[in-house]
Structure 1
Amino acid sequence: MSTEISDLLEHAVPPVIGLVAGVGDEQLAGATPCARLAVRDLLNHLFQVARNARLVAARRDVDWSVTVDALSGDWRRVFAGDAHAMVGAWSQPGVLDGVSPGMGLPQRTLGLMMVVDLVVHGWDLASATGQPYQVDEVLLAPTAEFLDTMGDMGRSMGAFGPVVPVGAEVGRFGRLLALTGRDPAWSPA
């Protein structure tokens, strides 16, 4: 079975798996568009998203305050498995029904949050490591919907920075990045 969120994740997950696989060990200390995160930290956050998303789908308690260093062993393969398991968790019947008991938000909103995390952090990782990244057009409208609905809350909680002023030349995805506090022209120093 599939759901709206698992269908969106099917578009968001493969490019991010490819980006994670393309990160070289020598790049782990590099800067990212997320001012407080090096590439290693960003990768660990992506692991956290993939793993916690399964708990959110199952309506279980999630501790977002703890980020474990997952970059040992064959971590690129492990991430791929975790990301595919996240898609599976969000494809279960009834997963979008109701409100999350732990986070107090509609399950669908939380599913969109997971999609947006992958879309935006995919760009972060690609920009930080010099890899190409093309966001599937099907992901732009749900990303815009989530940012329209939850952007102010995200900024007030520190998940997003202040909106970055940009021109039309950055395109639709660039404008969405700007809503999260990212400069679409960012590049490593």
Structure 2
Amino acid sequence: MDTNAAKKTYGIGELLGMARERAVPVVRGIADTELGAATPCAEYDVKELVNHLFQVVVQFQRLAAKEPSEFGAAAPDRVAEGADWRERLVAETGRLVAAWSAPGADEGTTGAMDMPARLVGAMALLDLTVHVWDLARATGQEYGEADAAVVEELAGAVATLEPTARKMGVFGEPVAVAGGASAFERLLAATGRDPRWG
């Protein structure tokens, strides 16, 4: 084994592709009867969180293209637009991966605050990872551990975003975890989630 081998650097599009693979079965596995269930993301039930995730996925496509996003308005009720909302959300996640896989998407800056594009892409990755974990927990589905490369990217992003995100109420207070907690469990805890929620 070559311990000197260069570590692969993943593009945000590749990492989003990994997160999407885990997201698709969870989205398809949400039953209509579970839409009112509570989630680990305390301010949202399942339906509200699905609508929030829809909004995030669509708006971050625009940010990948260096276009202005429209996060100010309340998330539209995509679930109420028809029974095919699961497949529409799956399709939008595919467009998100494609948008961030385009040449130059994670270079330079983007958004109203001119943040580094890679950090903005990592914010999309965080939502597609953590909110899908929220949905899996809320609906009794298995999520397991996020891919190591995804967790590594997100750990750096959360460390950067944490002070501002906590002040703005985007992250809850960090949750204490056991010494043997996995890197993914520590990531969830840093965003204010109890990895044992259920």
TM-based fold match above 0.5: yes
Query: Could you tell me which residue of structure 1 aligns to residue 127 of structure 2?
Result: 117
Structure 1 stretches of 4+ with a deviation exceeding 2 A read none
Q: 1:79 corresponds to which letter in structure 2?
A: L
Distance 1:99 1:38, change over 3 A: same
The answer to whether the 8 Å contact 2:63/2:111 transfers is: no
RMSD: 1.2
Using the size of structure 2 for normalisation, the TM-score is 0.89
- Is 1:96 the counterpart of 2:103? The answer is no
SS in 2 for 1:90: helix
Residue of structure 1 aligned with 2:184, choices 164, 173, 176: 173
How many residues align? The count is: 185
Q: 1:56 corresponds to which letter in structure 2?
A: L
Pairing of 1:1-189 with structure 2 (within 5 A) = 4-65=11-72, 66-71=74-79, 72-73=81-82, 74-134=84-144, 135-187=146-198
Q: Deviations over 1:32-69 (max 9, x none)?
A: 00111000011111111110111111111112232011
Which structure would you say has the larger Rg?
Answer: 2
2: CA distance, partners of 1:15 / 1:166: 24
- The offset of 1:103, in angstroms, is 3.0
1: CA distance, partners of 2:132 / 2:179: 22
2: CA distance, partners of 1:121 / 1:67: 15
- The offset of 1:101, in angstroms, is 4.4
- The offset of 1:13, in angstroms, is 0.7
SS in 1 for 2:109: coil
The answer to whether the 8 Å contact 2:175/2:189 transfers is: yes
Q: 1:159 corresponds to which letter in structure 2?
A: V
Unpaired segments ≥5 residues, structure 2: 1-9
The answer to whether the 8 Å contact 1:59/1:100 transfers is: yes
Using the size of structure 1 for normalisation, the TM-score is 0.93
SS in 2 for 1:115: helix
Distance 1:122 1:101, change over 3 A: closer
- The offset of 1:137, in angstroms, is 2.0
Distance 1:15 1:101, change over 3 A: closer
Moved more, 31-40 or 64-73: 64-73
Unpaired segments ≥5 residues, structure 1: none
SS in 2 for 1:181: coil
